[in-house]
Chain A
């Protein structure tokens, strides 16, 4: 709520202790009274909404254009006259994509995403808890190494990792992707979980210990239930990360029965050129499921990143 400052000077904002109560009320009524035409405020409102509408359009229009393109014919996409909406809505682009091995890719993607999520939670939950609650030798080193891994450029890792996968027979295998995704998402996941755990007062743990719970009991009965949103967000982050990943999937998987959804986009990049309507239909089918989850999860994602200081 904003305070209206009367133009007659600073005095009314600090009410003198000896001022009569009537004057106090009169001043506050005068401050709140003018509900009529206030050009300055109106202009500010129009400008705010104008800027926000433009920003929202810029954010949303590309997605709408992908959607409209997914309903066009191929010749329409190469037209040099402007046409945003398709002339006829060709929903058969979607049925083509759906019948083009889509269900195999979908099954692989769901398998990889769910398994990545489960493995990541099993190993990041104890780690995040330990980093939040205990002081031990090497703790700062572990936290620092998380930041350093964010700097590792892909070209340095890809080839050695590829050779490692050859030796472990993980190439061309969806389980290899699970391992790669669960590991690469580790630093960020542990970091987020640590921040969520940090926001739970340590006094609660101590109360639990005094009442006779052991460390596991404190975690399972006190801390974990309070951190459910945080845990859900880390689960979602891992799911989204593996659902959307392109580089490893492109490098490690070659046979179509092991491919995940992102790679399916490549199937519409023909030697003769890209078949945009099919590619866009595929893109919409890949994007929409995670987008709905995303709108729910984003505020908690940030809370985990910034140390739980966000009210959202």
Chain B
């Protein structure tokens, strides 16, 4: 067999070489670099630092820092997993029961997400009908989402005030009993979930409405012709078609709700006792305000751990159910 001599490729001019470089993977790395660097310095570095703090007794007095030109060295010690043991055995600063916090976190997340889904999907389906004033209804329903969260939370704390809040004043003027919003544990739990439901429904309405509008009308018509009633069409046509969007939105909502403390912080402040406190609101308000950073970081790690387990389990479950269908 005759050997075919391959001529060496001609040397490219410099601008062509730069062009080839820029058209390749190097260009992609160049594009992504600023984001990766910024996130490394301002999110992942503090994150690792936080993880390290969770194994120390760092607090306000031993963490070091600057006072004017003087640099004070950090003097905190490694305490191993003592912070985690203290939290799980209820010996951490304050005397709150960890099981209670975990239970309330569960109630809070499940309550909020369930109400979000019920009201969000329900209202989106009503808005998906061909009715008058659809745009106006939709615009007004966006108000809770457009308001800054802490403004909304502050306003609700005013409406829910025991003595002069509009709800209790209204109830007493109708000769009904005032609601003990912050002194009864169950009413306090209900209050924070109610406010967060108010805040979160618009997000679902818009996402689900978008999902509903991308379902081809022929599918529902075909099901109707085949004699499916309203519930059967919802259960077997609408819901499966909504699954991709609803699945993503519910995952994000669960993570966001788990980490949300502004509502609890402003409405009840955890009262009565710590009955309406979740792990995050307690972790924000107590160890951070008492300047026990080691304990605060350990709470943060516990939250992160729970959320990671949840997300892995959730994406498995979603993938499995998709595989079955």
Q: Which residues of A contact B139 (CB under 8 A)?
A: 295
Q: Which residues of B contact A187 (CB under 8 A)?
A: 39
Evaluate whether A155 and B280 lie within 8 angstroms (CB atoms) in the complex, with A246-B262, A265-B154 already known: yes
Evaluate whether A290 and B146 lie within 8 angstroms (CB atoms) in the complex, with A153-B280, A153-B300, A283-B155 already known: yes
Interface centre among B27, B151, B159, B262 (most CB of A within 10 A): B151
A59 contacts B210, CB within 8 Å? no
Q: Which residues of A contact B173 (CB under 8 A)?
A: 81-82
Tell me the complex Cα distance, A295–B54, Å.
43
Which of A152, A163, A167 is the one whose CB lies under 8 Å from B63? A163
Which of A77, A131, A283 is the one whose CB lies under 8 Å from B32? A131
B47 contacts A306, CB within 8 Å? no
Q: Which residues of B contact A78 (CB under 8 A)?
A: 164
A280 contacts B155, CB within 8 Å? yes
CB distance from B205 to the nearest CB of A (A): 9
Secondary structure at the A interface, as helix, strand, loop or mixed, is helix
Interface residues of A in 121-153 (CB under 8 A from B): 122-124, 126-127, 129-131, 133-134, 136-137, 142, 145, 147-153
The answer, yes or no, to whether B190 is at the interface (CB within 8 Å) is no
The answer, yes or no, to whether A62 is at the interface (CB within 8 Å) is yes
Evaluate whether A244 and B65 lie within 8 angstroms (CB atoms) in the complex, with A123-B38, A153-B283 already known: no
B34 contacts A127, CB within 8 Å? yes
Which of A53, A151, A209 is the one whose CB lies under 8 Å from B308? A151
The answer, yes or no, to whether B36 is at the interface (CB within 8 Å) is yes
The answer, yes or no, to whether A157 is at the interface (CB within 8 Å) is yes
Interface residues of A in 5-48 (CB under 8 A from B): 5, 10, 13, 45, 48
B307 contacts A164, CB within 8 Å? no
Q: Which residues of A contact B36 (CB under 8 A)?
A: 142
A154 contacts B43, CB within 8 Å? no
Which of B30, B126, B288 is the one whose CB lies under 8 Å from A158? B288
The answer, yes or no, to whether A254 is at the interface (CB within 8 Å) is no
The answer, yes or no, to whether B271 is at the interface (CB within 8 Å) is no
Mark each residue of chain B from 58 to 79: 1 if its CB lies under 8 Å from any CB of chain A, else 0: 1000010110000000000000
Mark each residue of chain A from 241 to 270: 1 if its CB lies under 8 Å from any CB of chain B, else 0: 001101100000000000000100100000
Interface residues of B in 269-319 (CB under 8 A from A): 280, 283-284, 287-288, 293, 296-297, 299-301, 303-304, 307-308, 311
The answer, yes or no, to whether A84 is at the interface (CB within 8 Å) is yes
Which of B39, B170, B262, B311 is the one whose CB lies under 8 Å from A149? B39
The answer, yes or no, to whether B106 is at the interface (CB within 8 Å) is no
The answer, yes or no, to whether B129 is at the interface (CB within 8 Å) is yes
The answer, yes or no, to whether A69 is at the interface (CB within 8 Å) is yes
Closest A residue to B170 by beta carbon equals: A82
Q: Which residues of B contact A152 (CB under 8 A)?
A: 43, 47, 259, 300, 304
The answer, yes or no, to whether B142 is at the interface (CB within 8 Å) is yes
Q: Which residues of B contact A202 (CB under 8 A)?
A: none
CB distance from A262 to the nearest CB of B (A): 7
Closest A residue to B280 by beta carbon equals: A153
The answer, yes or no, to whether B14 is at the interface (CB within 8 Å) is no
A10 contacts B148, CB within 8 Å? no
Tell me the complex Cα distance, A82–B303, Å.
43
Secondary structure at the B interface, as helix, strand, loop or mixed, is helix
The answer, yes or no, to whether A271 is at the interface (CB within 8 Å) is no
Closest A residue to B140 by beta carbon equals: A56
The answer, yes or no, to whether B22 is at the interface (CB within 8 Å) is yes
The answer, yes or no, to whether B23 is at the interface (CB within 8 Å) is yes
Which of B3-11, B219-227, B231-239 interfaces with chain A?
A: B219-227
Tell me the complex Cα distance, A137–B17, Å.
22
CB distance from A7 to the nearest CB of B (A): 12
The answer, yes or no, to whether B107 is at the interface (CB within 8 Å) is no
The answer, yes or no, to whether B185 is at the interface (CB within 8 Å) is no
B22 contacts A129, CB within 8 Å? no
Interface residues of A in 253-312 (CB under 8 A from B): 262, 265, 274, 276, 279-280, 283, 286-287, 290-291, 294-295, 298-299, 301-303, 305-306, 309-312
CB distance from B13 to the nearest CB of A (A): 14
- Chain A contact residues, CB within 8 Å of chain B: 1-3, 5, 10, 13, 45, 48-49, 51-53, 55-56, 58-60, 62-63, 65-66, 69, 77-82, 84, 122-124, 126-127, 129-131, 133-134, 136-137, 142, 145, 147-161, 163-164, 166-167, 179-180, 182-184, 186-187, 190, 209, 214-216, 243-244, 246-247, 262, 265, 274, 276, 279-280, 283, 286-287, 290-291, 294-295, 298-299, 301-303, 305-306, 309-312
The 6 closest A-B pairs by CB, nearest first: A156-B300, A310-B210, A160-B49, A130-B31, A126-B31, A160-B46
Given pairs A56-B137, A286-B151, 15 additional interface contacts (CB within 8 A): A59-B140, A59-B144, A82-B166, A122-B34, A123-B35, A127-B34, A134-B28, A149-B43, A160-B47, A295-B146, A299-B206, A302-B206, A306-B245, A309-B214, A311-B213
14 contacts between A and B (CB under 8 A): A3-B225, A56-B140, A59-B142, A59-B201, A124-B35, A126-B31, A151-B311, A155-B287, A156-B51, A215-B22, A216-B22, A274-B158, A286-B151, A302-B207
